[in-house]
Chains A and B, each alone.
Chain A
Amino acid sequence: AQTVTQSQPEMSVQEAETVTLSCTYDTSESDYYLFWYKQPPSRQMILVIRQEAYKQQNATENRFSVNFQKAAKSFSLKISDSQLGDAAMYFCAFGGATNKLIFGTGTLLAVQP
């Protein structure tokens, strides 16, 4: 069975600094997708970044980038030049061939002015 683990319940970063959120996963599949979602207090789920496992190149979206280590089953999110609007809950998620979409427990990110 697939599992997704986020070991940091809470993180804090100073505005304009860089922060890295950790995510590890477990699967026996070779072809799958990984996601980072942002959930502000409104509870809306906002896609931050998406990585296809067969692509070795790390995905980037503006200030957001990932460090995808397939052999280590690690998928961390780096947020550069942090902004106050980045404060939210961040979820790592796994989608594979079994049609299941599995989420981690989340990391609550605070951004200090």
Chain B
Amino acid sequence: DVKVTQSSRYLVKRTGEKVFLECVQDMDHENMFWYRQDPGLGLRLIYFSYDVKMKEKGDIPEGYSVSREKKERFSLILESASTNQTSMYLCASTSPQGWNTIYFGEGSWLTVV
């Protein structure tokens, strides 16, 4: 019954490494989102995509990029991981018609050492 899957739940990476966080949804949703969640800061939008190969910056895109080559998959890329990117990353997807249902992944805990 899982609808949004984040492939990696817990990752430990070294400073400077390239990191890929994958998110896959099986509901044919157009809209997909990447957030990071930090204590006291809530969920902050990094990037979102409203169609294949379409992406828009959220509120905190610096240090991140994304890829959406297929409708079901939205990848978050940290080109050169830094310790201040240690966080919990959350993926979500929805159909754009009326925001009827938003599905969230289980989160990916990334630690950069």
Contacts and interface: CB of A to CB of B under 8 A. Distances in A.
B98 A104 contact: no
The DSSP consensus for interface residues of chain B is: strand
A105 B40 contact: yes
Nearest to B92: A101
A6 interface: yes
B102 A101 contact: yes
Contacts of B50: 99
Contacts, number: 55
Given A33-B99, A95-B99, A99-B96, A45 B42 contact: no
B55 to A, nearest CB: 11
Chain A interface residue bracket vs B? 20 to 34
Given A6-B42, A33-B98, A43-B88, A103 B35 contact: yes
Contact of B58 (A35, A44, A91, A100): A100
15 contacts: A6-B42, A33-B99, A43-B90, A44-B104, A45-B102, A91-B42, A95-B94, A99-B31, A99-B50, A100-B45, A101-B31, A101-B92, A103-B42, A104-B42, A105-B41
Interface of A: 6, 9, 33, 35, 43-45, 47, 50, 52, 91, 95, 99-106
Interface of B: 31, 33, 35, 37, 40-45, 48, 50, 56, 58-59, 88, 90, 92, 94, 96, 98-99, 102, 104, 106-107
